[in-house]
Structures are given as structure tokens and as C-alpha cells.
């Protein structure tokens, strides 16, 4: 099948195209070179004046696994009120907004022109469940980031000075066994400390039992990820999430990486200072400055948007702390398998709350003060800051200063004084949005054939009408192709498609397996044989899509 | 004869992965595992009838599938129940349910809903089996001994010495229930019982209330033993409150669960304490997980003009049977089905050894996940999913295969439907 997308304006920053008019060819599931005169496409779309981008990629969105399913159960009222019938092509039914069901998740993403989303907190013990859910999300590519850093096995390796090589082997073994794409650390050591009844743990505080500090967990993991040559740097959810004054910890965390690449996630929740009467103010300027001058660092924001949502996190320590603010007043927490945990706390962010208004402003400040769109990613930490369906509104706030100022005037009157947001004039361009949502995510995850429009890339293409109202533009693309198949036309699903699951598989020395096996037998009551996820379990037998790792040495 | 060690057991929900199986030409037999369920259910003969039956008469599989599709396609109030199958089978059942507007429920979901009612209105703080095994210094068992439903619970998860308890000591207290003789034997001197002093069948709700009162420091002086238990909970580093809600007798068992969830929260405010609600044999938890991710709702969900609709009372399969005109009963794990009465027709997917009277309108033999084919099942603590492998090939299809063929037959018969460009 040969398809010609004729005469659109291509925004393809990975290949240096910033709005130039050109034809784009799709052959079967791939972007193809122009076949030259005489080619007879099976389908031609006249895209004169339209904006053409690769499918968008969300690098941090809680879409699958145990905590998401628990959140669905806890948010029963939301699901009662938002029920969706399946579309004529046999998909898209389900329910939920903040915690959409699998088909609803796929449908809402593809309708907005997103063709991939990655689950950033997959526990090893829950990985099989997460993969089953990801396999049930239609349309989009998926993958999981393995949570390490509070697992008893790793802390034991660090405490007993097993050495970096053993840690690297363990990390590689776990990535392979759980079919993961990247490594995430959540409140390093903190989830484990909570199990020993510590209610907080600062960066340089030795945790209970092992006496290991969060800083050492961070550094050994960042180093393991670097030396194993994983495409994606260590994905870091730092200490003290949500605590006023935590920007100081966040700045220290940047230092802790000591030059190794690191991705700091949902930094909005880690950018709080203690100025003012309420001892709560924005630390965005200081953090943005530090990120701007540290080229090895990338971040995503975790933007807060107003309304009802639910927070779902492996960080039981932080969730336990915010649970008294739950709205509605119910929440749940779990300790999980000597591995990690999960906490689910519903939240309603209100624009007339000083704290919530400031959180909203801090996120936008960060977006606008960080100067390199290749190192900043569009996220709401779905559903923690807001459901991912708020992205078009968020894009409008970034691209339209007048709109932003109008919204700033509506929030709690004391909040604007504690941020610099009102004075920032920057407006994101279409090219920058294409970088932040396509080219940069594919680059930072190592997905060589996604996020751009060069021949050979997966034919994931989104076509928009260029509207002054950027929200309307990004909410409803004209056309979305997934792997060359037209699946959305004028905002409506017209065909079913399935994405794939991306994984990495760095090699490891088999010797580590003996120690891991003993841990599994003695502690977890589960043999390695039953823990390991086989290729044929991924996507109903289709198996995963492998991305290469290139071993490196720390200079 | 070949021996297969380390076989995963999919039956009760504890996920024991150490079952030894002998296989020869006559079939498979387990080495004694200490679990009556595994020892019985892993014993399967090689030679079984693989024919489908229509009103008791053997028919070819194609014919049975066509008839099932005809019945289900014409049903006004279809029910898909039993739902005892692996995750793949459950997902297929949900696809079929959405297609024909059926409601779904699992045979054993009663126990689950006692817990879910509390999770959905209050939330909870809970833990998993490996945390129980390694961190817990005080186990509080509330109500009847869960080992009645989860035979190797104590042997595998409480008898081993905890890794993270200084000195390795751990106490097990039964509140309002009596340990089974095997439990006493397994846990030797660790067990104490409370609340059974005056009444062999004490009122659990009252006992739990007395303990919560004691935790709040408002105990009458006559309740010294409860005050002492409260003090021990407060002093424990990591207490785990274990219950099997399915075994609770008496009215409104969910209120006992809610009291336990609140009790856990009280203790967890100052030291660590977590609940461990156990429910679910025959992949009940997996069925609920899959239903939740696919529809957004737990089991007891139906499809109203294509959109999911949840009603834990109305869509309880026992209630729903009364007005179901066609029931698809799925029971892939064991050759028994509960007695149920319905005036509608019954299509049954079950192992070939299943004895059933009266004979259903259609009987389609299926394999057992973890025996005849590989399949995913969830453990009773709801976190760990396990992939149970295949042991023998008796020519039996999986539930997912059979339902997939029914769906294909339904699509074929609905070729007048607008395809909407799909």
C-alpha cells in the first residue's frame, strides 16, 4: 500500500524541517522515499496548508499496571459518570477520564495524534500485569520503566559493597526478566525506609536497616544505566516530593549525578521554596537555571491543571504524607514484594487554592524558563498533575501569552506575586512543540525509527489544521496514521490498529543469577523460572521490539 | 515416565511454584505437595472425550460453535458467568460480552466484593505475601483460618523466619477464629487465640469493635486481654492483619472488612501495619483485574448499548441467572460446577471430566490453564501475575480459542452490519 500525503507543511525537527512544504510518502507501515515520477499511490491526501508532524510520544504517563487498576477501582464515581461505547471499528469503549480503561486510553491518545506512551513506574513484581494491560491498549506503542532503588536486593548489594559490576549485572538481569525499556528510581531508598517506619528520608540520610543513603542509590543506578549503555538515562523521581523547600534537595540531586546523564521527572513537584507568609513559593527560577547549565540533564514537568484527578505513585512515603488532603476522602497504600509499593490518593486541584494555583504557575514557569526544548518534555505525570487529555490546553498556554495572562488573572490572587510567570513573554513555536513532543522523546528513549519523518521511520503521522486556537488545533487532528494505517479522520476513530512494546536487553554476567535466584527462593517464594517474562507473553505472542544498548565507561 | 519439577499451581491463588508432576502415557499425577487442592486437581487422565455435546448428543466442534453463536447472538439478556479461566480467556469473554450486551461475573466473586466494597468507599492499606513473610513480626488472623481456602498459606508465607525482624521472632494471633489442626502443626508454638473464651462461634463484628475501642484507649477494665492485644499491635514493628472475607459468616461481612481497614489505619499512624485481604481461587483476582482494565469497573459489569455498566447487586451472577435467557458458563480449572437453576439455556465451557445434571443445551470441553495450555493467573494478593505453562496435549482448546471462534461466527452472521470503513 502506497500513500501520498501531498503538499503539507512538515515539522520534522529531527531532520531539520521546520514547516517546509513537501510531499510525504508512506509505503505499508513505513515512511518511504519519494518514488519519483510515474508512481501510482493507492491513496492521496491533499494536505495543502496543513501541519504535518510525526506521531507524538508521551515519555511519562501512568497508563498500565497494578496502581492504575487500583486507581480505577478507587475512582468508581468518575467511571460511573464517564462511560464510553465502543466505536464501529470495535474499540474505544470503556470508561474513565483520569484513569481511563485500556481501550479508552488508546482511543483518547490516538485521537490527539499521540502514537506512543510509556508507563514510567513498572515494579518488577508487577511487570507481567503491566505488560498484559499495555497489550490491551490499542493504537499506541508502549513500554515500561522498571522501578529500582527501594528493592531489598539492590539495597543489600550496596550495603554489602558488592561493587558496581554486580549492580550493573543485576540491573541488566532485571531489565531483561521484566521486559523493560528503562530504569526509574522513585524516592531512592525511601519506599524501603517507609517499610521500616521512616516517614521521611533526605538525600544524605542513611536509611534504616541498610544504612544506605538516597544519594548512593542514585549514583550507583545512574552509573549502571550509563555503563550498560541504555539509551534512556536514569529516570529520577527524587526525594521529598511535594514538600515545601524541596527545591534545595532537587538542586543537590543534580549535583549527586556528578556529570552522569539523568532525567528528572515531574520536576514541578520538586520545585518548591519556602518564601512568603505561607512558607510556600516557587523555586522554578533557581531550578531552571541549574538545568539550563547542565547539558547532561533532561526533565519533564508534571504540569498541574485544575480539576479532579487522582495521584498514583510508587512513592508510598509521599503518598502517605499527602493522604489527609485526599478529595474525595479515601485513599489506598500498598507495600509490595520486597520490591517497592504504591499509593493512590484522589486530588482536586482548585484555581482558588493558593497552593494549587502556585503549582500550576510553577509548572508553566519551568516550561518557559527552560531554554532547550530538546531537554524538556510535555507531561502532566498523568494522572498525577492532570489527565493526559489536558495536553492541548497546556500547549495553548505555552504558545499563547495573552491566553496565559488571562488564565493567570483567574487564579488565587496571592499566587501570581510568588512566581515570575506574569513577566515571561516567551511563546513556544510549532517547531518547538514538534521537538518537545516528537523528536526529543524519540531521541531520549533511543527509538531510532519513531518521532520523525525520514524514510524508514514507522509511518506514525499526525496532520493538523493550523488554527490560531492552538488548543482546538491539537485537540482534534485531521488525520492520524499509525504504522501507515489511517486510524483517525476528523477526530473520529475509523480503524483499529495495534502498537508494539519497546524494550532493551543489555547483557549481563550469568554469575549474578545465582545470588538473585537465592533471593527469589528464600525471600520471594517464587523461582526465577516463574518470575521471568518470556517474549511470547508480550502483545499476545507478537513479542517486544528490541533497542540496542552500547556499553560505555565512566570517564 | 517423566518428572517435571517446579510446576506452577494456578488453583487457589497462592501461586505455589514448586509442584512436582509425573507424566506418562496415561496422564499426569502430582507428587504429594501438602495441598489437597493441588494433589487432586493436577491429576488428569490423558484419554478424555473431546467432543462437544448438544443436549447430551456428541457433535462436531464447528457445529457447537455455530450453535453457541446463534444462541448468544439472539439472546436478549445474556450472562457470562463462572469466568474461571486465565486472563486471555477473561479478555475474550469481555470482548464477547461487549459484542452481545452480556453481564459478567466470576463464580467466587462474593468474597472479593466484600473487600471491594470497602476499597471503593474508604480505601485501604495492604501488603503482599513476600512482605508478610519477610517483614511481619505480628500476624493477626481475623475470623476463620484462611488455610481452609489457601492450604499452604502458613507453610510458605509465615513459617519461614522473617528476614527483617531482629531476632527473627514472630507471633501469630487468631482473633475470633480457630486455627485448623494443620495450621497448629505448621506454626508450632507461635499461635495464640483470642475471643473464643466464651463462645466457639463469636460475633466477629463485636470482637473487632472491642479491639478498635482498645486501640482508641477507651477499653473497659474488664477487657484487659483486648487492651493487651491493642498494645501488642502498637508495639509491633510491622503487623499484618490477615483475613479471608469469603469465610466470614453473619450479616454485612463488608462492615467487618471496613472495621479492619480502619483498624489498620489507626495502628499504621505510628508504627507499621498493613492488611492482607485474601480472596480468589480459579483466577478470581485475574478476572477482576482484566475486567477493571478493560471496562474501568470490577466484575459484575454489563454492557448497556456498548458502554459498560456496573451494579454489584443486580449483576451478581446468582441474581442475574433469574432473568438470563442464555448463560455462558465458564469453568476451566476444575471439573465441578456449582448447582444453579435457570429457565434460560446454558452453554458450558468446562473440562471434559465435568459431571453435570441436567445436561446443558451445549457442552464444549476446554483445557485447564497450567495443564493443557499456558495461561496467566493472578495471585490472591492481587499484585503478582503468573504464567502457568502447559503440561499435556489432550487436544482441548483454551477458553480464549473457543470464544474467539464464537466471535468469528457472530461476525460472519452479522455481515449486514455497516463496517464503517474499518
In a domain, B173, yes or no: yes
B415 band by pLDDT with thresholds 50, 70 and 90: low
Looking up residue B70, the CATH number of its domain turns out to be 3.40.50
- pLDDT surpasses 60 at B412: yes
Phi, psi of A20 (to 5 degrees): -75, 145
To the nearest 10 degrees (0 to 180), the angle between helices B61-74 and B87-100 is: 50
Query: Could you tell me how far CA B243 lies from the centroid of its own chain?
Result: 14
Q: What is the pLDDT of residue A92?
A: 67
A93 band by pLDDT with thresholds 50, 70 and 90: confident
Are both A99 and A172 inside the same structural domain? yes
Q: Which one of B230, B246, B281 terminates a domain?
A: B281
Closest CA to B339 of B82, B120, B128: B82
- pLDDT surpasses 70 at B420: no
pLDDT in tens, B293-349: 999 999 999 998 889 999 999 999 999 999 999 999 999 999 999 988 899 999 999
In a domain, A251, yes or no: yes
B221 band by pLDDT with thresholds 50, 70 and 90: low
Are both B58 and B137 inside the same structural domain? no
In a domain, A550, yes or no: no
pLDDT in tens, B168-220: 899 999 999 999 999 999 998 889 988 777 666 678 999 999 999 999 988 77
Q: What is the pLDDT of residue A236?
A: 98
- pLDDT surpasses 70 at A407: yes
CA distances from B275 to A497, B136, B308, B381 (A): 41, 11, 30, 10
In this complex, which of B8, B292, B376 lies closest to A73 when CB atoms are compared?
B292
Are both A47 and A62 inside the same structural domain? no
Query: Could you tell me how far CA A356 lies from the centroid of its own chain?
Result: 22
Chain B hits for A192, CB-CB cut-off 8 Å, are: none
Q: Which one of B281, B315, B344 terminates a domain?
A: B281
Q: What is the pLDDT of residue B251?
A: 86
| Chain position carrying cell 499435556 | B392
User: Which class for A70: exposed (0-12), middle (13-18), buried (19 or more C-beta within 10 A)?
Assistant: buried
Q: What would the mean pLDDT of A375-399 be, rounded to a whole number?
A: 98
Are both B116 and B87 inside the same structural domain? no
Q: What is the pLDDT of residue A147?
A: 98
Q: What would the mean pLDDT of A478-494 be, rounded to a whole number?
A: 96
In this complex, which of A68, A136, A338 lies closest to B294 when CB atoms are compared?
A136
B200 min Cα distance to partner chain A (Å): 34
CB proximity B265 to A under 8 Å:
no
| Chain position carrying cell 503478582 | B384
Q: How many CA atoms lie within 13 A of A215 on its CB side?
A: 14
Radius of gyration of chain A measured on its C-alpha atoms: 23
Domain holding B363, by residue range, is 50-105+300-370+391-420
CB proximity B373 to A under 8 Å:
no
CB proximity B278 to A under 8 Å:
no
Q: What would the mean pLDDT of B123-133 be, rounded to a whole number?
A: 98
CB proximity A209 to B under 8 Å:
yes
Are both B151 and B277 inside the same structural domain? yes
Q: What is the pLDDT of residue B114?
A: 96
Are both B87 and B194 inside the same structural domain? no
**SS3 for A305?**
coil
Are both B101 and B160 inside the same structural domain? no
Count structural domains, chain A.
2
Are both A346 and A465 inside the same structural domain? no
In a domain, B156, yes or no: yes
Q: Which one of A493, A508, A530 terminates a domain?
A: A493
CA distances from B299 to A277, B103, B181, B333 (A): 50, 9, 35, 19
In a domain, B16, yes or no: no
B64 min Cα distance to partner chain A (Å): 25
Q: What is the pLDDT of residue B340?
A: 86
In a domain, A214, yes or no: yes
Q: What is the largest CA-CA distance in chain A?
A: 73
- pLDDT surpasses 60 at B418: no
In a domain, B55, yes or no: yes
In a domain, A517, yes or no: no
Q: What would the mean pLDDT of A181-204 be, rounded to a whole number?
A: 98
Q: Where are the beta strands (DSSP E) in A28-150?
A: 30-32, 43-46, 50-54, 56-58, 83-84, 94-95, 114-117, 119-123, 144-148
CB proximity B408 to A under 8 Å:
no
Q: What would the mean pLDDT of B154-160 be, rounded to a whole number?
A: 97
Are both B122 and B98 inside the same structural domain? no
B238 min Cα distance to partner chain A (Å): 8
- pLDDT surpasses 70 at B422: no
CA distance B177 to B188: 17
Other CB atoms within 10 Å distance of the CB of residue A255: 12
Are both A436 and A453 inside the same structural domain? no
Are both A383 and A251 inside the same structural domain? yes
pLDDT in tens, B56-65: 999 999 999 9
CB proximity B258 to A under 8 Å:
no
In a domain, B386, yes or no: no
Strand partners, A8: A22
Are both A395 and A484 inside the same structural domain? no
In a domain, B120, yes or no: yes
**DSSP secondary structure letter of residue B369:** B
Say which range, A84-88, A550-554, B63-67, B243-247, has the weakest mean pLDDT: A84-88
Interface touch A126/B378, C-beta < 8 Å: no
> Which 145-174 residues of chain A touch chain B by CB within 8 A?
152
Are both A197 and A323 inside the same structural domain? yes
Are both A24 and A60 inside the same structural domain? no
In a domain, B9, yes or no: no
Q: What would the mean pLDDT of A466-484 be, rounded to a whole number?
A: 98
In a domain, B382, yes or no: no
CA distances from B2 to B9, B10, B47 (A): 18, 21, 18
Interface touch B383/A533, C-beta < 8 Å: no
Are both B101 and B202 inside the same structural domain? no
Instruction: Order the strands of the A297-300 sheet from edge to edge.
Output: A119-123, A144-148, A182-186, A234-237, A262-264, A297-300, A376-377
The ipTM estimated for the assembled molecules is 0.97
Are both A103 and A116 inside the same structural domain? yes
Are both B243 and B132 inside the same structural domain? yes
Looking up residue A453, the CATH number of its domain turns out to be 2.30.40.10
pLDDT in tens, B341-400: 899 999 999 999 998 888 999 999 999 999 999 999 999 999 999 999 999 999 999 999
**DSSP secondary structure letter of residue A219:** H
In a domain, A358, yes or no: yes
- pLDDT surpasses 60 at B419: no
pLDDT in tens, B303-316: 988 899 999 999 99
- pLDDT surpasses 80 at A88: no
In this complex, which of A84, A337, A525 lies closest to B383 when CB atoms are compared?
A337
CB proximity B390 to A under 8 Å:
no
Q: Which one of A445, A480, A515 terminates a domain?
A: A445
Are both A370 and A417 inside the same structural domain? yes
Which cell is A474 given?
A: 491539537
Q: What is the pLDDT of residue B416?
A: 42
Chain B hits for A76, CB-CB cut-off 8 Å, are: 120, 297, 310
Interface touch A88/B420, C-beta < 8 Å: yes
Query: Could you tell me how far CA A123 lies from the centroid of its own chain?
Result: 15
In a domain, A555, yes or no: no
Domain holding A196, by residue range, is 56-445
Amino acid at each position: 500500500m502506497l500513500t501520498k500525503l501531498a503538499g503539507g507543511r512538515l515539522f520534522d525537527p529531527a531532520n531539520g524541517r521546520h514547516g517546509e512544504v513537501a510531499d510525504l510518502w508512506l509505503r505499508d507501515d513505513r515512511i518511504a522515499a519519494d518514488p519519483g515520477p510515474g508512481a501510482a499511490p493507492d491513496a492521496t491526501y491533499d494536505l495543502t496548508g496543513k501541519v504535518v508532524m510525526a506521531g507524538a510520544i508521551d515519555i511519562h504517563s501512568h497508563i498500565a499496571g497494578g496502581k492504575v487498576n487500583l486507581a480505577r477501582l478507587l475512582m468508581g464515581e468518575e467511571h460511573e459518570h464517564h462511560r464510553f461505547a465502543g466505536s464501529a471499528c470495535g474499540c474505544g469503549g470503556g470508561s474513565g477520564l483520569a484513569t481511563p480503561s485500556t481501550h479508552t486510553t488508546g482511543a483518547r491518545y490516538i485521537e490527539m495524534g499521540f502514537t506512543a506512551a510509556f508507563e514510567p513506574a513498572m515494579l518488577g513484581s508487577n511487570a507481567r500485569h503491566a505488560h498484559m494491560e499495555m497489550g490491551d491498549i490499542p493504537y499506541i506503542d508502549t513500554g515500561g520503566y522498571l522501578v529500582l532503588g527501594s528493592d531489598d536486593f539492590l539495597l543489600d548489594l550496596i550495603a554489602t559493597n558488592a561493587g558496581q559490576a554486580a549492580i550493573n549485572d543485576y540491573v541488566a538481569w532485571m531489565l531483561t526478566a521484566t521486559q523493560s525499556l528503562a530504569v526509574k528510581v522513585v524516592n531512592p531508598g525511601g519506599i524501603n525506609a517507609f517499610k521500616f517506619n521512616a516517614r521521611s528520608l533526605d538525600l544524605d540520610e542513611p536509611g534504616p536497616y541498610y544504612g544506605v543513603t538516597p544519594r548512593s542509590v542514585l549514583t550507583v543506578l545512574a552509573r549502571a544505566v550509563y555503563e550498560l549503555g541504555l539509551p534512556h538515562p536514569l529516570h529520577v523521581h527524587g526525594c521529598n516530593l511535594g514538600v515545601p523547600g524541596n527545591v534545595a534537595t532537587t538542586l543537590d540531586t543534580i549535583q549527586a549525578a556528578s556529570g552522569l546523564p539523568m532525567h528528572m521527572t515531574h520536576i514541578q513537584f520538586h520545585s518548591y521554596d519556602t518564601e512568603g507568609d505561607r512558607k510556600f513559593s516557587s523555586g522554578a527560577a533557581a531550578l531552571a537555571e541549574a538545568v539550563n547549565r547542565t547539558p547532561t540533564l533532561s526533565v519533564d514537568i508534571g504540569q498541574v491543571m485544575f480539576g479532579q484527578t487522582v495521584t498514583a505513585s510508587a512513592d508510598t512515603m509521599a503518598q502517605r504524607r499527602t493522604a489527609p488532603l485526599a478529595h474525595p476522602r479515601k485513599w489506598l497504600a500498598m507495600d509490595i514484594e520486597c520490591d517497592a509499593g504504591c499509593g493512590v490518593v484522589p486530588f482536586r486541584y482548585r484555581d482558588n487554592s493558593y497552593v494549587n494555583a502556585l503549582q500550576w504557575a510553577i509548572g508553566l514557569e519551568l516550561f518557559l524558563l527552560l531554554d532547550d526544548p530538546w531537554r524538556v518534555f510535555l507531561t502532566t505525570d498523568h494522572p498525577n498533575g492532570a489527565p493526559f487529555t489536558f495536553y492541548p490546553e497546556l500547549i495553548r498556554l505555552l504558545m499563547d501569552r495573552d491566553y496565559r495572562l488571562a488564565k493567570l488573572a483567574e487564579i488565587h490572587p496571592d499566587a501570581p506575586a510568588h512566581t515570575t510567570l506574569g513577566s515571561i513573554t516567551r511563546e513556544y513555536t510549532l517547531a518547538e512543540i514538534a521537538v518537545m513532543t516528537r523528536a526529543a522523546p524519540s531521541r531520549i528513549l533511543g527509538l531510532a525509527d519513531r518521532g520523525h519523518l525520514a524514510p524508514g521511520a514507522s509511518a506514525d503521522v499526525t496532520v493538523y489544521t493550523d488554527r490560531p486556537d492552538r488548543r482546538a488545533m491539537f485537540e482534534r487532528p485531521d488525520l492520524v496514521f499509525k504504522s501507515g494505517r489511517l486510524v483517525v479522520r476528523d477526530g473520529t476513530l475509523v480503524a483499529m490498529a495495534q502498537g508494539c512494546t519497546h524494550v532493551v536487553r543489555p547483557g549481563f554476567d550469568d554469575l549474578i543469577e545465582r545470588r538473585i535466584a537465592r533471593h527469589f527462593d528464600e525471600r520471594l517464594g517464587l523461582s526465577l523460572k516463574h518470575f521471568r517474562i518470556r517474549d511470547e507473553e508480550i502483545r499476545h505472542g507478537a513479542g517486544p521490539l528490541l533497542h540496542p544498548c552500547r556499553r560505555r565507561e565512566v570517564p | 515416565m517423566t518428572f517435571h519439577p517446579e510446576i506452577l499451581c494456578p488453583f487457589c491463588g497462592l501461586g505455589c511454584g514448586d509442584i512436582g508432576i509425573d507424566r506418562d502415557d496415561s496422564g499426569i499425577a502430582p507428587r504429594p505437595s501438602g495441598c489437597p487442592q493441588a494433589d487432586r486437581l493436577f491429576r488428569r487422565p490423558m484419554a478424555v472425550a473431546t467432543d462437544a455435546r448438544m443436549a447430551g448428543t456428541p457433535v462436531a466442534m464447528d457445529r457447537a460453535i455455530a450453535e453457541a453463536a446463534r444462541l448468544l447472538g439472539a439472546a436478549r439478556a445474556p450472562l457470562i458467568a463462572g469466568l474461571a479461566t486465565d486472563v486471555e480467556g477473561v479478555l475474550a469473554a469481555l470482548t464477547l460480552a461487549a459484542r452481545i450486551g452480556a453481564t459478567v461475573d466470576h463464580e467466587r466473586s462474593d468474597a472479593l466484593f466484600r473487600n471491594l466494597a470497602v476499597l471503593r468507599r474508604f480505601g485501604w492499606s495492604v501488603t503482599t505475601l513476600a512482605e508478610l513473610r519477610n517483614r511481619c513480626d505480628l500476624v493477626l488472623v481475623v475470623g476463620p483460618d484462611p488455610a481452609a481456602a489457601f492450604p499452604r498459606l502458613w507453610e510458605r508465607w509465615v513459617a519461614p523466619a522473617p528476614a527483617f525482624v531482629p531476632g527473627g521472632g514472630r507471633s501469630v494471633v487468631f482473633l475470633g477464629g480457630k486455627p485448623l489442626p494443620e495450621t497448629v502443626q505448621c506454626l508450632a508454638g507461635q499461635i495464640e487465640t483470642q475471643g473464643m473464651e466464651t463462645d466457639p462461634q463469636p460475633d466477629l463484628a463485636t470482637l473487632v469493635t472491642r479491639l478498635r475501642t482498645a486501640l482508641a484507649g477507651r477499653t473497659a477494665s474488664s477487657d484487659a486481654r483486648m487492651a493487651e492485644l491493642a498494645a501488642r499491635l502498637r508495639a509491633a514493628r510491622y503487623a499484618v492483619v490477615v483475613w479471608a472475607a469469603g469465610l466470614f459468616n453473619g450479616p454485612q461481612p463488608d462492615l467487618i472488612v471496613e472495621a479492619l481497614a480502619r483498624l489498620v489505619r489507626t495502628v499504621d499512624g505510628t508504627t507499621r501495619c498493613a492488611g492482607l485481604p485474601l480472596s480468589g481461587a480459579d483466577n478470581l483476582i485475574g478476572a477482576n483485574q482484566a475486567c477493571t482494565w478493560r471496562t474501568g469497573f470490577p466484575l459484575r459489569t454489563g454492557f448497556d448499548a456498548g458502554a459498560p455498566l456496573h451494579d454489584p447487586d443486580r449483576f451478581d451472577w446468582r441474581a442475574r441467572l433469574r432473568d438470563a435467557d442464555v448463560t455462558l458458563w465458564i469453568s476451566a480449572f476444575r471439573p465441578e460446577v456449582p448447582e444453579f437453576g435457570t429457565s434460560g439455556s446454558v452453554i458450558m465451557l468446562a473440562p471434559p471430566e465435568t459431571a453435570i445434571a441436567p445436561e446443558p443445551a451445549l457442552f464444549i470441553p476446554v483445557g485447564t490453564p497450567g495443564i493443557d495450555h499456558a495461561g496467566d493467573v493472578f495471585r490472591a494478593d492481587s499484585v503478582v501475575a503468573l504464567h502457568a505453562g502447559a503440561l499435556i496435549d489432550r487436544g482441548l482448546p483454551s477458553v480464549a480459542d473457543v470464544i474467539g471462534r464464537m466471535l468469528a461466527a457472530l461476525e460472519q452472521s452479522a455481515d449486514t452490519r455497516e463496517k464503517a470503513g474499518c
